[in-house]
Structure 1
Amino acid sequence: MTRAELATGSAVFLAIVIAGTASVKQVDRHFAAGSAPAPSTSSAACVGEDGSWKNWIWANVPALSPKCE
């Protein structure tokens, strides 16, 4: 490997690292600025008698939620 090849490879590697870091920061900024859905404030998430989730708007669900009253 010549010095020119080493310099070129190092420059490409550095450019990829910088571009990756910049894109991660930009994506974080983009999603942080978006409006996240707010959880229901009327009551907490609970599991209904049929096993479905109540008062929970996200696709993932909290573990060990109480039964609905």
Structure 2
Amino acid sequence: MIWNVVEDCNDYNDKPTCWACEINSPIYGKYLWITKNSNGYDIEYNINDEFITIATTLYLCDAFNQAESLIKE
């Protein structure tokens, strides 16, 4: 999986807070997203302009790993 930083979402210090990966999944749609929140990182997908959180992890590396596992299911 290739994750790209969504630079429009960078914080005030220009640090990434959102990543997107094109997956073209019949379940999750065209993209999977990882978004930093106050408690960690949300793994999300978008349906009809609404983001739906699949899971939340404490660490970014765990979010990437869990997202990859979700796509393999």
TM-score (structure 2 length as normaliser): 0.21
Structure with more of its chain in helix, by fraction: 1
Structure with more of its chain in strand, by fraction: 2
TM-score (structure 1 length as normaliser): 0.22
RCO higher in 1 or 2 (8 Å CA, sep ≥ 6)? Answer: 1
